[in-house]
Amino acid sequence: MKMKLSALLAMMAGLFLVQGSALAHHGTSAYSTQVITMKGTVTSFEFMNPHTEIRVDVTDASGHRVSWLCEAGSLNFLVRRGWSKNSMKPGDVVTIMGNPLKTGAPNLRLTKVVLPDGKELNPLTGSQDVE
C-alpha cells in the first residue's frame, strides 16, 4: 500500500513539473498580432511533429534574399485540415501569410499558404480553393 501511494505521489509531482513548460511552449506571445504577406520559394517542407516547418526564401525590399522559417501545427492537426507530405515541395513559389516574431527575426506563425495552383492551405481551419 505504501508503495502504491509513493508511486502515485511521484507521478503527480512529475506531472506538475512538466505541466508549466508544456503550456509555455504552446504560447503565442512571442509573435506579433500583425499579419504579413510574402511571396517566396519553398526551400524545405518538414511535415513533422511537434510542428510542421516550411522554409521560404523571400527577396526583401532591398533585394536581399531572406530565409523565413514558417511554423504551423502538428502533423496530425494539419492532416485533418487537408495537408499532406506532398502539399508543397522545394522550388514551389508560394504566398505565405502569418504573424512575425516581435523581435524582427525571420520567423512566422503561419496562418495561410497559397500554392502555385491557387489552392489555399490554412493551418487553422482547413484548405479551400481560391476564387
Could you read off the pLDDT of 28-57 as tens digits, one per residue? 788 989 999 999 999 999 999 888 999 999
Give residue-wise pLDDT tens across range 82-129.
899 999 999 999 999 999 999 999 999 999 999 999 999 988 775 554
pLDDT at 21 over 50: no
pLDDT at 4 over 90: no
Q: Please state, in angstroms and as integers, the Cα–Cα distance from residue 127 to each residue in 3, 58, 66, 113, following that order.
A: 51, 23, 27, 9
Sequence-distant (6+) residues with CB within 8 A of 72 are 51, 52, 53, 54, 78, 110, 123
Q: Which CATH superfamily is domain 36-129 in?
A: Nucleic acid-binding proteins (2.40.50.140)
What pLDDT shows up at residue 70? 96
CA pair distance 11, 42, nearest whole angstrom: 44
Q: Three cell numbers at 25?
A: 511552449
Nearest CA-CA partner of 121 in 58, 69, 54: 54
The ranges assigned to domains in the chain are 36-129
What pLDDT shows up at residue 20? 43
